[in-house]
Chains A and B, each alone.
Chain A
Amino acid sequence: MMSYKKTDDRSIRELIPYYVKGELSIKEQEEVKKALIEDEGLRKELKEWEEIYGAFKLADDTMPQPSDDLYRRIKGRIRKEREDAVFKRLKLWFAALNPSPAFSLAVIAVQLVIIVAAGIYITNQNKKLTTLSESGIREETKGDIIKINVVFRGDASEEDIRKALLSLDARIIDGPHASGLYIIAIKQGDKTEDVLKRLRESGIVILAERRY
């Protein structure tokens, strides 16, 4: 709704372009129509505006169509601005730290210490050798077992010892000690005395005694 005083010719004149494009209220249209009947100058004004409006419509008709990718371009632009803003904030944050050369060197030193410490840790992990039997022994000693102290003869071969232990279902759980002592384990349910007897009669054992 227009808000001009329409008591004079000039105000009606101002409404004419809107009359031409059909954007006046019914009341205003009536006022303009009435004024046009009475005033030849206004009729001329109306004709002029109609000519101009026609030119604009012609211009619109020959206007090119916007490209299809415009919205995609806008989105791309906004996305880039967001990324730039994040980068800018990080840059400002870093600048706020006001890093001196000493600060930079300290950062490098800390990084070096971390790298060296990690290297040492990894190397030590690799040096710590484990065997399959070691882990097996630990498992078995946790259960109910009978331990036996054994000293093998000096000329007993590894093969003889292995065969003897396998036949008794026994496992070495400790040793050898400097004295030549091994500690072997057999399961609780087995006959201990029988095992001891068989060890002593095997010909490869000097000592076989239950360990308490």
Chain B
Amino acid sequence: MLENELLTKVSAGDEAAFQRLYEMSYGKVFRYLYRMTGSKEMTEDLLVETYTEVWRSAKRFRGEAQVSTWVIGIARNLAMNMFRKKKPELNIDKLSGQIPAGLQEFRDYERTELIKLAIDRLSLKQREVIELVFFKGFKYEDISKIVGVSVNTVKTRVFHAKKELKNILKNMGVEKDDVL
């Protein structure tokens, strides 16, 4: 059954449809929230909050975006509200200790691990667009609906995010020819 049909049933109070919709989409929402918060506990709290809001707001879904885009949009709004109230402990704070002290040795260090650490150091907005670009099935149009900005702004943010990523890697001691 299509997500839209499920959501129509959810809006009529169909709990079985709600469970099916949850099963179809929660993995994506969990991944998005975890990448934003870096905390399993926070992610799960937000996820519970997100699906409660999906249940509440199903009647208001106008079909202007994919259901998964709409659900991620709800998750994003809740996460942003939480960030405004309380700055999350981002992954980088926990992981920075894992960066080898002698950065010259990073040739032996996993390249992708370094980039992962660098992504965690991006600003929330930049990290978010890069995350969403790599979400399965999400295009610039979907991202613009989730983030609430124009498609051009999304593209600009992606461009700046990648540029910033290079700077972060450079500051981490990674030479241009080594990574990126």
Contacts and interface: CB of A to CB of B under 8 A. Distances in A.
Given A18-B139, A55-B115, A66-B47, A71 B19 contact: yes
B9 interface: no
Given A21-B134, A51-B179, A60-B31, A73 B48 contact: yes
Interface string A18-58: 10010100000000000000000000000110011111111
Interface size class of A (residues with CB under 8 A): 20 to 34
Interface in B99-154: 110-113, 115-116, 118-119, 130-131, 133-134, 136-137, 139-140
Contacts of B30: 66
Interface residues of B, number: 40
Interface stretch (A74-82, A95-103, A162-170, A181-189): A74-82
Interface in B20-61: 22, 26-27, 30-31, 34-35, 40, 43-44, 47-48, 51-52, 55-56
Majority secondary structure, A binding face:
helix
Interface of B: 15, 19, 22, 26-27, 30-31, 34-35, 40, 43-44, 47-48, 51-52, 55-56, 110-113, 115-116, 118-119, 130-131, 133-134, 136-137, 139-140, 155, 158, 162, 165, 179-180
Contacts of B111: 51, 54
29 contacts: A14-B140, A14-B158, A17-B134, A18-B139, A21-B134, A23-B136, A52-B130, A54-B115, A55-B115, A55-B116, A57-B112, A58-B110, A58-B112, A58-B113, A59-B35, A63-B31, A64-B34, A66-B26, A66-B43, A70-B26, A70-B44, A71-B26, A73-B44, A73-B48, A74-B51, A74-B55, A75-B15, A77-B52, A81-B52
Given A18-B139, A23-B137, A70-B26, A52 B52 contact: no
A75 B78 CA distance: 19
Given A56-B119, A75-B15, A78-B55, 7 more contacts: A14-B158, A18-B139, A21-B136, A51-B115, A52-B119, A58-B110, A74-B55
B155 A74 contact: no
A25 B119 CA distance: 28
A52 B44 CA distance: 26
A55 B35 CA distance: 12
Given A66-B30, A74-B48, A52 B56 contact: no
A58 B140 contact: no
B31 A70 contact: no
Given A21-B134, A66-B26, A71-B22, A55 B119 contact: yes
